[in-house]
A and B are shown apart, each in its own frame.
Chain A
Amino acid sequence: MLNRRSFLNYAAMAGAGVALHRVNPDFFLGTAHAAIDRPLVFLSAENITGNWDPTAHTTLSQSNIEGFVMGFLTRAPMRPENPDEVIYELATEINELSATRLEIKLREGVTFHDGKPFTSEDVKATFVYGSGLDRPKQVYPGATDTFEVETPDDYTVIVDTSKGGYGASLFIFLASYLPMLSAKDIAEGPQGILSQRLNGTGPFKFVEQRGNDTVMEAYPDYFKGTPTIPGVTFSFVGDATTRMLSLMNGQADVIERLEPEQLETLEGNDEIKISKLVSVENKYLWFRCSKPPFDNPLLRKAAAHAIDRELIMEVMGTAGHASANFVSPIKFGYVDLDNYPEYDPEECQRLLAEAGYPGGQGLPEIEYITSTGFYPKTKEYGEVIAALMQEQGFPVTLNVMEVAAWNERLYDRPGGGPGHMVDCGWSTGSPEPDLVLRTHFHSTSKRICGIEDPEIDAALDEERNAASLEERQASLQGNLMPMLADKVPALSLFTSVLIHAMRADLDGLFIYPDGLSDASQVTEAS
Chain B
Amino acid sequence: MFILRFLLRRLAQGALIIFLVSALIFTLLRVVPGDPVRLMAGGMAPEALIEEIATDMGLRDPIPVQFTRYMSGVVQGDLGQSFVRPANGAAVGGASFDDSTRSARAEVWDLIADTAPKTIQLACLAMVFALMIAIPIGVWGGLHPGGWPDRIALYTSSVFVSLPNFWLGIILALLLSVKLKLLPAIGYGGFAWTILPALVLAIEIAPFIIRSLTVSVAQIMGQNFIEIAGVRGLSRSQIIFRHGAKNAAVPLLNLLGVQFSMLLGGVLVVEFIFDYPGLGLLTINAVMQRDFPLIQGIAIVTAAAFVLINIVVDLLSTLIDPRLEY
Indicate whether A and B interact.
yes
Q: Which residues of A contact B (CB under 8 A)?
A: 46-53, 56-59, 62, 134, 136, 190-191, 194-196, 208-212, 214, 235-239, 241-242, 245-246, 248-252, 402-405, 407-411, 413-414, 447
User: At the interface, yes or no: B231 with Cβ under 8 Å from chain A?
Assistant: no
Number of chain B residues whose Cβ lies closer than 8 Å to a Cβ of chain A: 46
Q: Can you report 23 residue pairs joining A to B where beta carbons are below 8 Å apart?
A: A48-B90, A48-B92, A49-B42, A50-B103, A56-B96, A57-B96, A58-B95, A136-B97, A195-B98, A209-B86, A212-B277, A236-B91, A238-B91, A238-B285, A239-B273, A245-B186, A248-B174, A249-B181, A249-B185, A402-B288, A403-B93, A403-B288, A414-B46
- Asked whether, in the complex, the Cβ of B186 is within 8 Å of the Cβ of A408, the reply is no
Complex formed: what's the CA distance from A57 to B42 in Å?
9
B290 within 8 Å of A (CB atoms): yes
Instruction: Tell me how far the C-beta of B287 lies from the nearest C-beta in chain A, rounded to whole angstroms.
Output: 9
CB-CB under 8 A from A402, the residues of chain B are: 288
Taking CB atoms, residues of chain B closer than 8 Å to A212 are: 89-91, 277
The answer, among B34, B86, B187, for a CB contact under 8 Å with A50, is: B86
Task: Given the known inter-chain contacts A56-B96, A136-B98, please indicate yes or no for A410 contacting B90, CB distance below 8 A.
Answer: no
What's the minimum C-beta distance from B177 to chain A, rounded to whole angstroms?
Answer: 4
Asked if A248 and B101 sit within 8 Å, CB to CB, the answer is no
Contact A251 B96 (CB under 8 A): no
Determine the distance from Cα of A405 to Cα of B86 in the docked complex, in whole angstroms: 19
Within B260-315, which residues are at the interface with A (CB < 8 Å)?
A: 272-275, 277, 285, 288-290
**Dominant SS among interface residues on chain A:** loop
Which B residues are in CB contact (< 8 Å) with A49? 42, 92-96, 102
A57→B184 contact, CB < 8 A:
no
A413 to B46, CA, bound (A): 7
* With known contacts A195-B101, A249-B178, A408–B35 Cβ distance under 8 A: yes
Q: Which residue of A lies closest to B114 (CB)?
A: A211
B98 touches A190 (CB 8 A): yes
Using A245-B177, A404-B290 as known contacts, say yes or no to A46 and B44 having CB atoms under 8 A apart.
no
Question: Quick check: B93 and A211 within 8 Å, CB to CB?
Answer: no
Q: For the complex, give the distance between the alpha carbons of A212 and B188 in Å.
A: 12
Residue of B43, B272, B273, B285 most packed against chain A (CB within 10 A): B43
Are A251 and B181 in contact, with the CB atoms below 8 A? Answer: no
Cβ–Cβ contact A242 & B39, under 8 A: no
State the CA gap A242–B92 with chains docked (Å).
19
Q: What string of 1s and 0s marks CB contacts (under 8 Å) between B166-187 and chain A?
A: 0000100110011001001111
Report the minimum CB–CB distance from B270 to chain A (whole Å).
11
Q: Does B237 contact A (CB under 8 A)?
A: no
Q: In the complex, given contacts A191-B101, A195-B102, A209-B89, what are 12 additional A-B residue pairs having Cβ atoms less than 8 angstroms apart?
A: A57-B42, A57-B95, A134-B98, A195-B101, A236-B90, A239-B273, A241-B170, A245-B170, A246-B186, A249-B173, A249-B181, A407-B39
Question: Cα distance A411–B39 when bound, in Å?
Answer: 12
The B140-182 residues at the A interface (CB cut-off 8 A) are 170, 173-174, 177-178, 181
B101 touches A190 (CB 8 A): yes
Q: Which residues of B contact A409 (CB under 8 A)?
A: 38, 43
Inter-chain contact A50/B35, CB cutoff 8 Å: no
Cross-interface CB contact of A238 among B44, B103, B185, B272, cutoff 8 Å: B272
Q: Does B88 contact A (CB under 8 A)?
A: yes
Q: Which residue of B lies closest to A413 (CB)?
A: B47
Contact with A along B38-63 (1 / 0, CB 8 A): 11001110110000000000000000
Inter-subunit contact B43/A241 (CB<8 Å): no
Residue of A nearest to B181 (CB): A249
Give CA–CA (A191, B104) in the complex, Å. 11
Contact, CB under 8 Å: B103 / A211? no
A407-B93 contact in complex given A241-B273, A251-B184, C-beta closer than 8 Å: yes
Contact B288 A245 (CB under 8 A): no
Kindly state whether residue B85 has any CB partner on chain A within 8 Å: yes
Contacts of A245 in B (CB 8 A): 170, 173-174, 177-178, 185-186
Bound together, the chains give a CA A404 to CA B36 distance in angstroms of: 10
Task: Chain B residues near A48: list those with CB within 8 A.
Answer: 90, 92-93
Interface residue? B84 (CB, 8 A)? yes
The distance in angstroms between the C-alpha atoms of A239 and B92, with both chains bound, is 15
Which residues of chain A come closer than 8 Å to B90, judged between CB atoms?
47-48, 50, 209, 211-212, 214, 236
Closest Cβ of chain B: how far from A408's Cβ, in Å? Answer: 5
Contact (Cβ within 8 A) B98 A51: yes
Contact of B88 among A47, A211, A411 (CB under 8 A): A211
Q: Across the interface, do A246 and B288 meet the contact criterion of CB distance under 8 Å?
A: no
Q: Which residues of chain A are near B102, meaning CB under 8 Å?
A: 49-51, 195
**Nearest 6 A/B pairs, CB to CB:** A411-B43, A57-B95, A50-B92, A195-B101, A209-B88, A249-B177
Q: Which A residues are CB-close (under 8 A) to B187?
A: 235, 237, 246, 251
A residues near B47, Cβ cutoff 8 Å: 413-414
Residue of A nearest to B272 (CB): A239
Assess A237 versus B275: contact at CB under 8 Å? Given A249-B181, A251-B185: yes
Residue numbers in A under 8 Å from B84 (CB-CB): 50
| B76 interface hit (Cβ, 8 Å) | no
User: Using Cβ atoms and an 8 Å threshold, which residues of chain A touch B44?
Assistant: 136, 411, 447
Q: Tell me which of A194, A211, A238, A241 contacts B277 (CB under 8 A).
A: A211
**Residue from A136, A235, A404 whose CB has the most chain B CB atoms within 10 Å:** A404
**B293 CB, nearest partner CB in chain A, Å:** 15
The residue on B at minimum CB distance from A194 is B101
Nearest chain A residue, comparing its CB with the CB of B276: A242
Q: How far is the CA of A62 from the CA of B94 in the complex (A)?
A: 12
Contacts of B97 in A (CB 8 A): 136
Name the B residues within 8 Å of A59 (CB-CB).
93, 95
- A214's nearest neighbour on chain B, judged by CB, is B90
Is B100's beta carbon under 8 Å from chain A?
yes
CB within 8 Å for A210 and B88 given contacts A237-B275, A239-B272: yes
CB distance from A414 to the nearest CB of B (A): 6
Q: Which of A50, A51, A194, A241 lies at the interface centre, i.e. has the most chain B CB atoms within 10 A of its CB? A: A50
